[in-house]
Chain A
Amino acid sequence: MKKIILSAMLATFMFGSAYAETVRMGTEGAYPPYNFINDNGEVDGFERDVGDLLCARANLDCVWVINEWDSIIPNLVSGNYDTIIAGMSITAERDEVIDFTQEYFPPSPSVFMALSGADVDVDSGVIAAQTSTIQAGYVAESGATLVEYATPEETIAAVQNGEADAVLADGDYLFPIIDESGGDFAAIGEVSIGGGIGMGIRESDGALKAKMNAAIDTMKADGSLNTLIKKWFGKDANTF
Chain B
Amino acid sequence: MFEYCSDPKSLEGLIWLSCYVTTPKHMSFYGSFLVVMGLLALAAPLAMLFGFIGAIASRSSKSLVRFFGKGYLAMIRGIPDIVFFLFIPIALDQAFEYLRHKILCPEVIEPIRQGNDFVVCTAAKLPLSAASEWVHDLYGFSLALLAFGFVFGAFTGNVLFGAMAAVPKSQLETGEAFGFSPRQVFRRILIPQMWIYALPGLSNLWMILIKATPLLFLLGIEDIVYWARELGGIKTGVYDYPHPDWRAWYFGVLMIFYLLLTYISQIVLDRLSNKLSIGQATLAGKAI
Contacts and interface: CB of A to CB of B under 8 A. Distances in A.
B90 to A, nearest CB: 7
A9 B233 contact: no
Contacts of B245: 153, 156-157, 160
B90 A78 contact: yes
B24 A39 contact: yes
B200 interface: no
B119 A204 contact: yes
Contacts of B8: 39
Nearest to B103: A6
Contact of A180 (B93, B130, B229, B237): B237
Interface string B234-245: 101111111001
A203 B236 contact: no
Interface string B71-104: 0000000000000000000100110010000011
A16 interface: yes
A76 to B, nearest CB: 9
Interface in A91-143: 97-98
Interface stretch (B35-43, B110-118, B145-153, B275-283): B110-118
B168 interface: no
B25 interface: yes
Most chain B C-beta atoms within 10 Å of own C-beta, residue among A12, A38, A41, A68: A41
Interface string B220-233: 10100000011001
23 contacts: A6-B103, A6-B104, A10-B104, A12-B128, A19-B130, A22-B130, A30-B233, A32-B238, A36-B239, A38-B239, A39-B239, A41-B24, A77-B116, A78-B118, A79-B119, A82-B129, A97-B116, A151-B229, A153-B245, A156-B245, A157-B245, A180-B236, A204-B115
Given A30-B230, A36-B238, A41-B25, 18 more contacts: A6-B103, A16-B128, A23-B129, A32-B239, A33-B238, A37-B230, A38-B25, A39-B23, A41-B23, A77-B118, A78-B90, A78-B118, A97-B116, A98-B116, A177-B236, A204-B110, A204-B115, A205-B117
Interface of A: 6, 9-10, 12-13, 16-17, 19, 22-24, 29-30, 32-33, 36-41, 45, 61, 63, 65-68, 71, 75, 77-79, 82, 97-98, 151, 153, 156-157, 160, 176-177, 180, 202-205
